[in-house]
Amino acid sequence: MSDVKSRIDEQVKSKDVVLFMKGTKEMPQCGFSSRVAGVLNYMGVDYADVNVLADEEIRQGIKDYSDWPTIPQLYIKGEFVGGCDIITEMTLSGELDTMFEDNGVGFDKDAADKIREANG
């Protein structure tokens, strides 16, 4: 296992929910990262953010790790869930709630419902 792959592996497993993004959860640096971080922040999910802009090896390595070409990338319990479009769809369908519930991840169900109401 390459050094980058083992570093990513460690990050992915460091917390129940990990978001590889451009920027940080407080200061996203692209619209897609901002949207996913915004959903997680609004739903009160406790997650680790990994700023791919701060580390070129991680920026390329995460794409190889997941075999997914774009950032952001969301991981729950070490499993790759998806990027911005998938997370948006899963939030609106309630699938993300179910995934959090199944994995014992705390989130604000009322906030999730509000997102769906606003986008319904």
DSSP states along 16-37:
SEEEEESB-SSSBSSHHHHHHH
Work out the angle between the directed axes of helices 56-66 and 3-12 (0-180°, nearest 10).
80
pLDDT value, residue 26: 96
pLDDT value, residue 120: 77
pLDDT value, residue 1: 60
pTM: 0.95
What's the one-letter identity of residue 85?
D
pLDDT value, residue 2: 80
Q: Which residues, given as ranges, of the chain have pLDDT below 70?
A: 1
C-alpha 91/C-alpha 44 separation (Å) is 13
